[in-house]
Amino acid sequence: MSNDYARQPRQDHGDGDPKMIGLWKIGRTIGKGSSGRVRIARHVKTHQLAAVKIVSKSTILNPVNKPSRHTFLNIEREIVIMKLIDHPNILRLYDVWETHSDLYLILEYVEGGELFDYLCNKGPLSTAEALVYFQQIIFA
């Protein structure tokens, strides 16, 4: 990953699972996705919560795995776009860190998860509720 985006953590315990990334204390896993897992974190000075998306470098930088190049470009694109966007309906990217094995995206934590998960759990929305979410997406 390019150093244009990521900084090195202050503390790495050598097990590939740091307890601190910068001033963020890493907590329990709150989700898993196709590109990695998400853990809760708390800023040690402000006590602000964040979601930390952890992406394994071996997954995105493996030259044998052709989809890895596509995954790498998607992650890089996600970082660039999220650093540029400041909108109340889009998660903020606070920071990016990396270790020898992983990339850490420190994101705004939103209680309740993503809209996709909400739709999967709730099922079809009423027209009125769908309109509310649709308007938020359009104005993002």
Neighbours of 73 (CB within 10 A): 11
Binding site feature residues for ATP = 53
Running DSSP on this structure, what letter comes out for residue 101?
S
**Burial class for 21, CB neighbours closer than 10 Å (0-12, 13-18, 19+):** buried
Instruction: Record the tokens describing residue 22, joined without a space.
Output: 């910068």
Distance CA 136, CA 89 (A): 7
Binding site feature residues = 53
Any idea what the Cα angle at residue 59 is, between residues 57 and 62, rounded to 5°? 90
Distance CA 133, CA 95 (A): 27
Neighbours of 117 (CB within 10 A): 11
